[in-house]
Amino acid sequence: MKITLDPHCIVHLANRTGAGSRIAQLVSRRDAACFVVDIACAPMRDRGVRPEQYEHFEGLLAAAGVGHLPRLEPLFVCDVTFWGKCVPASDEMARLAQGLGDVLYGEAPGAEIPFEGPNSPAGRRWLDRHCGVQAMWCHIHHRNDVFLTTDACLKRDALRPKLGALGAGRVCLPGEV
């Protein structure tokens, strides 16, 4: 079973939360191959992880106990993805990302950082939406089986058929796998 870890799962692992303990148990299972997406969500930025500082991301992964896991490279998004740790989008790849943004958020996140700046509440929401789209895009693109998230909103009944039509497969919370 191939499992894509939502970036927020890494934060829970590093913070040693209850959800993090359940994620750690899953990561250690022999029948599970877990993957990390090379992207930093807003809570990771609070720990100094920025697009130009991949070494901080690696340090966070090591602290979370998942530095050994294989990585999935997202589509390039300026001011979001790590240089050299992302892929350029073909038209088909961009359409999938756009479709995911529309399904997950009602409208895909735009390319421009909100006027208030990346550390404002609007900027953090913008960043996390890009991370959500990119993590799910990686999951679908690499044909993984389970998308593990700590966001119960991603499991809403209204989203299941739409995400399924895009190829998402199972979306699970920690403890459901």
Q: What is the pTM of this model?
A: 0.93
Tokens 């799962």 locate to 9
Contact 64, 14 (CB under 8 A): yes
Beta bridge partners of 171: 147
Residue 106: per-residue pLDDT: 87
Q: Could you give the domains of the chain?
A: 2-172 (3.40.50)
Q: In Å, what is the CA distance from 134 to each residue of 18, 35, 95, 160, 176?
A: 25, 13, 12, 18, 22
Which of the residues in the chain have pLDDT under 70? none
Mean pLDDT for all residues in the chain: 92
